[in-house]
């Protein structure tokens, strides 16, 4: 028998990034008794790292913008695999959520008229990203945190949920360990919201922190929820490549939004060489027009560096493969060239991109106001996730909700930059509201002590194997190498098949890993437990990707390099079948509502 402490809440929110905090604020506001759990200290979730901005059609920087254009841009960017109702709600509600942050104390950069300023970003037709220099995520998380601590919900920081508890088909709570001393906690709850973020840690080169192990994805999957679009990963085109220790760390798209250009070893601006048809009418074909766009000329079309991320990433890979890369296997990102057009370019760069300036100066010894950065693609974001109802954010498991990066649907096959921060608060709010409503209409579910003891036993198993088991860090690295090689930015059938085979071996190794010492703040133990979600997520990615025999958005299949209209008709669904095996189906995409379809078509002209 393993001991544990029991807590009871109406609503349990797992994750304290933008989505979880916003959900907890909303649920508390209804009078529900709410707990918020997170793996790190409060305020350290991924959201804090977001740089460029938050997309919302506020029209403060360009009054031609409207929710309908934002909606159409999101659908085009997602290559029409999005849940169109989610894209509609997101476009309609994002501006209110930005204004609400201001009312809670956020201080966004301003327009000359004193309104919230907005910047250019890839795939957005107009200047649409509310921002604070290049530390927008910090502003968002701190605002929500500082407002949130006075809203009455209880925060459990440095607690990690290892499993969800079930009462028949309904979720009944979660089982967690506390990091500092490894004690166990049972959280009973009427409704549970997953807001656990992404899974970039499945890969070797990633912008994600240790937290990005796809826990929510795996928890939902094991609880029987349907998962969608797991083949779609966003490889951000610009991660740092040098020195090796910082490989993968993000270089914000804001650099290109401020006029940064991509060049190969010959100095050529290679993005002009391949402009997809869907975007040719809004993309400039010469440098002069591109610069005019950056300076706010409404007649000018966007420079090709601001095409969608999937496309830019592939162009970079092409340059590298064809031998025109930079010395350390990337390409060049040049912002200092703007001094040709701008008097006080150096001060401007430092003002608009302070943390990029700092990051390159401190970590790579590069002064970006004078030298080009070396950049290459990095695993950044997962479009796929827990399938939810667009309005309520409830998953296919009763009482289990999801919001933010761990939920799927809004972004389809590819997410536009800036659409995540807005996603967090739009759907975080909705999840909080509807989870509280669900809780108020239901009794406390019962918890099965046998189930709890099984989980506790599994959680402690790595200690029993102790020093005789393999070091969990080694297994994690092996998995990351495998996923990087077999399910990366360019995929082939043969490699994905090998990937699935290797995954089975890695699962066997994970089952035999061992850790030393005790339960107090023990990263080895924590890493051993992270292997389970990492493996489940990797399998979902491979299983989904191998079946999509076309290239679309974040999924590029080298055997089928073109988009295929037949494949635009379905989403991949993964779920756990009764015998415990992973099953995949193709679910037909319901027809888009006619008024929304009209908006899409109008914007294609």
Ligand X SMILES: Cc1cc2nc3c(=O)[nH]c(=O)nc-3n(C[C@H](O)[C@H](O)[C@H](O)COP(=O)(O)OP(=O)(O)OC[C@H]3O[C@@H](n4cnc5c(N)ncnc54)[C@H](O)[C@@H]3O)c2cc1C
The two tokens of residue 77 are 């960017």
> Cβ of residue 105: shortest distance to another protein, in angstroms?
4
Nearer to ligand X, 207 or 544 (CB): 207
Give the dihedral sign, CA 351/357/361/366.
negative
> Cβ of residue 180: shortest distance to another protein, in angstroms?
5
Distances (CA, A) of 534 to 199, 215, 401, 410, 579: 7, 8, 21, 23, 21
Distances (CA, A) of 352 to 257, 348, 604: 10, 6, 32
Select the residue interacting with ligand X from 11, 13, 18, 226 (CB under 6 A): 18
- Which residues are known catalytic residues? 236, 256
| Cβ contact 427:403 at 8 Å | yes
Select the residue interacting with another protein from 362, 391, 598, 602 (CB under 8 A): 362
Question: Taking CB under 8 A as the criterion, which residues in 413-452 touch another protein?
Answer: none
**How many residues interact with ligand X (rule CB under 6 A)?**
43
> Tokens 């604020």 sit at which residue?
25
Cα angle 333, 335, 336 (rounded to 5 degrees) comes to 120
Nearer to ligand X, 18 or 409 (CB): 18
**How buried is 561 (Cβ within 10 angstroms: 0-12 exposed, 13-18 middle, 19+ buried)?**
exposed
Q: Which does 102 bind (CB under 5 to 8 A by kind): another protein, ligand X, none?
A: another protein
> Cβ of residue 15: shortest distance to ligand X, in angstroms?
3
Spatial separation of the C-alpha atoms in residues 8 and 174, rounded to whole Å: 11
Question: Taking CB under 6 A as the criterion, which residues in 22-51 touch ligand X?
Answer: 37-40, 45-47, 49-51
**Residue 485 in contact with another protein, rule: CB under 8 A:** no
**Residue 554 in contact with ligand X, rule: CB under 6 A:** no
Spatial separation of the C-alpha atoms in residues 457 and 445, rounded to whole Å: 23
Nearer to ligand X, 17 or 412 (CB): 17
Select the residue interacting with ligand X from 7, 9, 13, 15 (CB under 6 A): 15
Spatial separation of the C-alpha atoms in residues 470 and 389, rounded to whole Å: 41
> Cβ of residue 128: shortest distance to another protein, in angstroms?
17
> Cβ of residue 269: shortest distance to ligand X, in angstroms?
24
| Cβ contact 517:462 at 8 Å | no
- Give the contact letters, 533-552, x = binds to ligand X (CB under 6 A), - = no: --------------------
Pairing of strands 385-387, 407-408: parallel
> Cβ of residue 330: shortest distance to ligand X, in angstroms?
17
**Residue 522 in contact with another protein, rule: CB under 8 A:** yes
Question: Taking CB under 8 A as the criterion, which residues in 22-61 touch another protein?
Answer: 40-46, 48-49
> Cβ of residue 279: shortest distance to another protein, in angstroms?
31
**Residue 107 in contact with another protein, rule: CB under 8 A:** yes
Nearer to another protein, 212 or 216 (CB): 212
Give the dihedral sign, CA 434/435/436/442.
positive
Omega into 243 within 30° of 0, i.e. cis?
yes
Q: Which does 215 bind (CB under 5 to 8 A by kind): another protein, ligand X, none?
A: ligand X
Q: Is 23 helix (H, G, I), strand (E, B) or coil?
A: helix
Q: Which residue stretch of 19-27, 147-155, 292-300, 536-544 sits at the interface with another protein (rule: CB under 8 A)?
A: 147-155
Question: Taking CB under 8 A as the criterion, which residues in 62-101 touch another protein?
Answer: 99
**CA neighbours closer than 13 Å in the CB half-sphere of residue 50:** 31
**How buried is 296 (Cβ within 10 angstroms: 0-12 exposed, 13-18 middle, 19+ buried)?**
exposed
Spatial separation of the C-alpha atoms in residues 57 and 422, rounded to whole Å: 11
Q: Which does 583 bind (CB under 5 to 8 A by kind): ligand X, another protein, none?
A: none
Q: Which residue stretch of 266-274, 391-399, 497-505, 514-522 sits at the interface with another protein (rule: CB under 8 A)?
A: 514-522
Q: Which residues contact 174 (CB under 8 A, 6 or more apart)?
A: 12, 14, 37, 161, 163, 164, 165, 186, 187, 189, 192, 219
| Cβ contact 161:176 at 8 Å | yes
Nearer to ligand X, 379 or 396 (CB): 379
Q: Which residues contact 572 (CB under 8 A, 6 or more apart)?
A: 228, 229, 230, 231, 384, 544, 547, 548, 584, 585, 586, 587
Pairing of strands 373-382, 331-334: antiparallel
- Give the contact letters, 140-169, x = binds to ligand X (CB under 6 A), - = no: -------------------xxx--------
Spatial separation of the C-alpha atoms in residues 437 and 191, rounded to whole Å: 9
Q: Which does 421 bind (CB under 5 to 8 A by kind): another protein, ligand X, none?
A: ligand X
> Cβ of residue 591: shortest distance to another protein, in angstroms?
34
**Residue 521 in contact with another protein, rule: CB under 8 A:** yes
Distances (CA, A) of 551 to 236, 298, 409, 415: 17, 33, 18, 15
**Residue 376 in contact with ligand X, rule: CB under 6 A:** no
Select the residue interacting with ligand X from 385, 408, 418, 472 (CB under 6 A): 418
**Residue 386 in contact with ligand X, rule: CB under 6 A:** no
Spatial separation of the C-alpha atoms in residues 35 and 28, rounded to whole Å: 9
> Cβ of residue 45: shortest distance to ligand X, in angstroms?
3
Q: Which residues contact 501 (CB under 8 A, 6 or more apart)?
A: none
Distances (CA, A) of 414 to 5, 14, 43, 66, 581: 42, 25, 27, 21, 28
Select the residue interacting with ligand X from 12, 25, 27, 53 (CB under 6 A): 53
Q: What is the DSSP letter of 501?
A: H
Select the residue interacting with another protein from 244, 323, 450, 590 (CB under 8 A): 244
Q: Which residue stretch of 21-29, 226-234, 401-409, 519-527 sits at the interface with another protein (rule: CB under 8 A)?
A: 519-527
Phi, psi of 64 (to 5 degrees): -80, -10
**Residue 189 in contact with ligand X, rule: CB under 6 A:** no
Select the residue interacting with another protein from 6, 63, 146, 586 (CB under 8 A): 146
Q: Which residue stretch of 69-77, 106-114, 315-323, 587-595 sits at the interface with another protein (rule: CB under 8 A)?
A: 106-114
Distances (CA, A) of 348 to 138, 318, 351, 357, 565: 21, 32, 5, 11, 45
**Residue 391 in contact with another protein, rule: CB under 8 A:** no
List of residues contacting ligand X (CB under 6 A): 14-20, 37-40, 45-47, 49-54, 136-137, 159-161, 195-198, 207-208, 211, 215, 250, 381, 404-405, 417-421, 424
List of residues contacting another protein (CB under 8 A): 40-46, 48-49, 99, 102-105, 107, 109-110, 112-116, 132-133, 135, 138-139, 142, 146-147, 149-150, 180, 209-211, 242-246, 249-250, 355, 358-359, 362-364, 471-474, 477, 515-518, 520-525, 527
């Amino acid at each position: 028998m393993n001991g544990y402490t029991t807590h009871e809440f109406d609503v349990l929110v797992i994750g304290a990034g933008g989505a979880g905090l916003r959900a907890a604020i909303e649920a508390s506001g209804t009078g529900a008794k709410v707990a918020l759990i997170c793996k790190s200290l409060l305020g350290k979730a991924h959201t804090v790292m977001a740089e460029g901005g938050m997309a919302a059609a506020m029209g403060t920087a360009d009054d031609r913008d409207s929710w309908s254009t934002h909606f159409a841009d999101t659908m085009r960017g997602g290559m029409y695999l999005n849940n169109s109702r989610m894209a509609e709600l997101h476009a309609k509600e994002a501006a209110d959520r930005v204004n609400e942050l201001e009312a809670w104390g956020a201080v966004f950069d301003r327009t000359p008229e004193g309104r919230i300023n907005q910047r250019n970003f890839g795939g957005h037709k107009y200047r649409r990203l509310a921002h604070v220099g290049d530390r927008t995520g910090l502003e968002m998380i701190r605002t929500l945190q500082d407002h949130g601590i006075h809203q009455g919900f209880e925060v459990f920081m440095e607690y990690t949920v290892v499993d969800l508890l079930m009462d028949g088909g309904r979720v009944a709570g979660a089982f967690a360990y506390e990091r500092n001393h490894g004690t166990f906690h049972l959280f009973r709850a009427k409704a549970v919201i997953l807001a656990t973020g992404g899974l970039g840690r499945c890969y070797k080169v990633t912008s994600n922190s240790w937290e990005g192990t796809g826990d929510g994805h795996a928890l939902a999957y094991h609880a029987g929820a349907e998962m969608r679009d797991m083949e779609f990963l966003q490889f951000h085109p610009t991660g740092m490549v040098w020195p090796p220790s910082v490989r993968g760390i993000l270089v914000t798209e804001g650099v290109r939004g401020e006029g940064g250009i991509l060049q190969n070893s010959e100095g050529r601006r290679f993005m002009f060489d391949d402009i997809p048809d869907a975007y040719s009418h809004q993309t400039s074909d010469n440098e002069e027009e591109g610069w005019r766009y950056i300076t706010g000329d409404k007649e000018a079309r966007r420079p090709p560096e601001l095409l969608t991320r999937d496309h830019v990433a592939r162009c970079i890979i092409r340059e590298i493969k064809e031998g025109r890369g930079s010395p350390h296997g990337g390409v060049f990102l040049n912002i200092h060239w703007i001094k040709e057009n701008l008097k006080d370019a150096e001060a401007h760069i430092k003002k608009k991109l302070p943390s990029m300036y700092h990051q390159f100066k401190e970590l790579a010894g590069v002064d970006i106001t004078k030298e080009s950065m070396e950049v290459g693609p990095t695993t950044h974001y997962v479009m796929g996730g827990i399938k939810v109802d667009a309005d309520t954010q409830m998953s296919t498991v009763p009482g289990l909700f999801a919001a933010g990066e761990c939920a799927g649907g809004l972004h389809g096959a590819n997410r536009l930059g800036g659409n995540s921060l807005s996603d967090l608060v739009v759907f975080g709010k909705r999840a909080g509201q509807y989870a509280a409503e669900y809780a108020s209409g239901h009794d406390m579910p019962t918890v099965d002590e046998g189930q709890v003891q099984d989980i506790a036993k599994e959680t402690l198993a790595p200690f029993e194997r102790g020093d005789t088991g393999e070091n969990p860090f080694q297994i994690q690295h092996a998995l990351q190498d495998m996923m990087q090689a077999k399910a990366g930015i360019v995929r082939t059938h043969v490699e994905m098949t090998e990937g699935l085979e290797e995954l089975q071996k890695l699962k066997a190794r994970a089952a035999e890993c061992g850790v030393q010492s005790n339960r107090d703040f023990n990263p080895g133990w924590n890493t051993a437990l992270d292997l389970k979600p990492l493996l489940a997520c990797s399998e979902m990615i491979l299983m989904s990707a191998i079946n999509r025999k076309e290239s679309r958005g974040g999924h590029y299949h080298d055997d089928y390099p073109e988009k295929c209209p037949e494949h635009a008709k379905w989403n991949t669904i993964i779920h756990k079948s009764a015998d415990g095996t992973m099953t995949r189906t193709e679910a037909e995409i319901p027809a888009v509502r006619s008024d929304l379809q009209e908006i899409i078509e109008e914007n294609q002209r």
